[in-house]
Amino acid sequence: MSILGWYVVCCMGGMILITGANGNVGTELVRRLHSLRIDFRAAYHSTERAARARAAGIDSTVIDYADSGSLDDAMRGIEKLFLVCPAGPDLPAYEANAVNAAIRAGGVKQIVKCSVWDAETEAFTIARIHRQSEKTIEYSGIPFTHLRPNSYMQNFVNYFADPIRSYGVFQIPGRDSRCSFVDVRDVARVAATVLLSTDRLDRAYALSGPEALTYGQVALKLSNVLGRKISYRDIPDEEFRNVTASHGGSSWLADAMIELYHYTIAGHGADLSSSVQEILGQPPTSFDQFARDYIGAFRATKPRVSA
């Protein structure tokens, strides 16, 4: 968007509410709108994080998707809503609570929902919960834009940076599947562009990166950037269940992720979407660029202890 375009948008007013403000996409979206001096409110789940953001000059509030009162407070004066909720069995009910609060608030003119890749197929549990929520939004009568990102490149930071740093390995029950991983920063840029425009209503966009990679190729790319060998270990589903449980993840999440891995192994995660290019006017971020930008997260900070 041109500088004049941003200026016009800024003058349009219209407060934006960003949920999941300390999450993957939310953090990047807050950063982007803050740097553009756009009028927005950041909704945190944690009181401490909201207080920290407030101290940094960001209009912040605390919400709990199970607490309609908190959602009503957060929606006051809102014209646009960025809706993101953790994947879980409660997602349809939680997001319905947010949609109902948006209806009660009266002035909400657009909901931009962070959905998931291939939600429309309803072929796996996470797709089904997201599609159920997309339908709730569609039936609400509020104009919507569904963003359907593929698996995030940043998952390698959030879930695998520790074993990569310590042992040079990441473990996934991914077999030799290929996935068109997308950079969270691109998802946030797309969300910002969509929130700040009026011409992408009642549409859904699949969001992918520029290439479909196997986990072996990901390991090679990380090795090249880090200058040391990083390996991918394909693990049995049962081992993934145990690892998830040992990190405090629910059995619902472990099963849903295994289902998603199987969907990807069947070849459904490798398609490339042109939406990032079309909406941003520039190609999506490559995995090589992502790895270079996040190199600090993967670098061993202390000498590894040999066995």
- Positions in the binding site for ligand NAP (CB under 6 A): 20, 22-26, 45-46, 49, 63-66, 84-87, 91, 114, 116, 126, 149, 151-152, 155
- What 3-state class would DSSP assign to 81? strand
Nearer to ligand NAP, 9 or 180 (CB): 180
Alpha helices in 90-124 (DSSP H): 91-105
CB 20 within 8 A of CB 85: yes
* Burial zone of 249 (CB within 10 Å; 0-12 exposed, 13-18 middle, 19+ buried): middle
Nearer to ligand NAP, 38 or 119 (CB): 119
CB of 9 to ligand NAP, least distance (A): 24
CB of 55 to ligand NAP, least distance (A): 17
CB 148 within 8 A of CB 116: yes
CB 99 within 8 A of CB 82: no
CB 127 within 8 A of CB 115: no
Nearer to ligand NAP, 86 or 107 (CB): 86
| Distances, alpha carbon 69 to alpha carbons 44, 104, 120, in Å | 15, 11, 31
Nearer to ligand NAP, 46 or 121 (CB): 46
Nearer to ligand NAP, 87 or 270 (CB): 87
CB of 128 to ligand NAP, least distance (A): 11
